[in-house]
Every structure is written in structure tokens, then in C-alpha cells.
């Protein structure tokens, strides 16, 4: 089985310099559907993803991906007004313009901030991932889908969190299968991603 991922980030260029989005996506897919091959497409910025996702989704399906998941952040780094419905409508139009049928296995995932949000939903994930940080120093985040996760993570790393391969792989040590259900109950975007992978697995 092969899943295509269309991401609004740059290609890290090497296994030891993978982008955070790719690392996290691969990690969750590996747990939900072991043995799955992942074919990522990197479209650098949200405007480009919205304008070009259809062409690349069509290519991924032609390359025998059983499904394609398009992932982008609602809030861009530069801030400004956002609208999830507007983003979704624009992506759907681009898919239609590329000739992709409405019932094609192409799934959309808009995340409020970044994939790193999934690390801060359940404090036990950070406790397990960062053993050098005292557990009582790791606080629960209540409004996590409206909070910049990188600021929180920088506090625990005691240096700027930049989503480096080393930092993300450290965090992934805490994102274990047994934590998934709790994160799914609390975080809509993570729940959608897990269910999208499960749907791909059943195709």
C-alpha cells in the first residue's frame, strides 16, 4: 500500500534533514498501517499548495497511491485573516479543475497551527519524550488548537524549537500508539488524520 502526502513545506533533502511535517506524518502512518509506503510532495507555501495540489494529487494517484492526503496549516507564519471554509473550497476547486472526480480517495486536513500541535494535546507525550524535563514542569495546554506549539516546545527544549529532524525525532518518542485514543478524543485534526489513514488502509 502507498499513501501520497501533499505538504506545504520544503523538502529536507536528506533522511537526516526531513521536514517536521513529513516526519510526523510518516510516524503516524507507520503506527496505523505498518509497511505502508509514503510518497510525499512538498509545495513550500500554502498559496502554492492551494493553487497546485490538484495536479500533484492526480500524479500521486497515477503513481498507484491508494489515496492522497493534503495537509496545510490554517494560520500562516505571517498571521492575517484566515478562513478554513475558504481554504477548503479553493482546494476542492483546484482538484476539480485538475479533473479529479469528487469520489476520488483524496482527503483534506487543515490544522489550526502546525502538526506539532499533536505533541502538546496530551502532556504524557511530552513527559515520555523529554525525560530531562521534570514532569511537574510540563503543564496541560487547554486551548491547544489556538496556541502556537513551537513557543511551548521552545520552553521545554530550553532553546528555540525549529522543527529540526533531531528535535522532532525526540518528540516522536512520546507519540506512542497507546496515546492515540486520548489525543483523538481531544484533537479534531489528529482524529481526522488517523481516520483518513484507516480509510486508506481499508481501500
Per-residue model confidence (pLDDT) at position 142: 87
What band does 12 get if pLDDT is binned at 50, 70 and 90? confident
Distance CA 203, CA 196 (A): 11
If one counts the domains in the chain, the total is 1
User: For residue 2, what are the contacts with CB-CB under 8 A and spacing of at least 6?
Assistant: 36, 37, 38, 39, 63, 64, 65, 66
Residue 144 has pLDDT above 90, yes or no: no
More confident residue, 8 or 16: 8
Paired with 4 in beta bridges are 39, 68
61 or 12: whose pLDDT is higher?
61
DSSP 8: S
**pLDDT, tens only, 80-133:** 678 999 999 999 999 999 999 999 999 999 998 889 999 999 999 999 999 999
Q: Domain range for residue 48?
A: 2-202
Cell 505502508 appears where? 36
Chain segment 31-89, per-residue pLDDT in tens: 999 999 999 999 989 999 999 999 999 999 999 999 999 999 998 655 567 899 999 99
Distance, in Å, from the CA atom of 17 to the CA atom of 168, rounded to the nearest integer, reads 11
Amino acid at each position: 500500500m502507498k499513501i501520497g502526502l501533499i505538504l506545504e513545506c520544503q523538502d529536507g533533502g536528506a533522511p537526516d534533514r526531513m521536514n517536521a511535517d513529513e516526519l510526523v506524518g510518516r510516524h503516524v502512518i507507520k503506527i496505523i498501517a505498518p509497511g505502508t509506503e509514503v510518497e510525499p510532495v512538498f509545495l513550500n507555501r500554502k498559496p502554492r499548495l492551494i493553487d497546485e495540489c490538484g495536479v500533484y494529487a492526480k500524479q500521486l494517484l497515477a503513481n498507484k497511491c491508494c489515496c492522497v492526503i493534503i495537509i496545510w496549516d490554517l494560520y500562516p507564519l505571517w498571521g492575517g485573516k484566515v478562513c478554513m471554509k475558504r481554504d477548503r473550497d479553493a482546494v476542492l476547486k483546484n482538484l476539480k479543475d485538475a479533473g479529479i472526480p469528487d469520489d476520488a480517495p483524496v482527503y483534506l486536513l487543515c490544522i489550526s497551527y502546525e502538526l506539532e500541535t499533536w505533541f502538546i494535546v496530551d502532556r504524557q507525550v511530552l513527559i515520555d519524550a523529554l525525560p530531562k524535563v521534570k514532569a511537574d514542569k510540563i503543564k496541560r495546554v487547554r486551548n491547544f488548537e489556538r496556541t502556537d506549539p513551537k513557543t511551548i516546545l521552545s520552553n521545554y527544549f530550553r532553546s528555540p524549537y525549529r522543527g529540526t529532524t533531531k528535535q522532532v525525532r525526540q518528540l516522536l518518542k512520546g507519540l506512542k500508539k497507546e496515546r492515540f485514543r486520548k489525543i483523538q478524543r481531544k484533537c479534531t485534526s489528529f482524529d481526522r488524520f488517523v481516520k483518513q489513514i484507516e480509510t486508506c488502509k481499508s481501500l
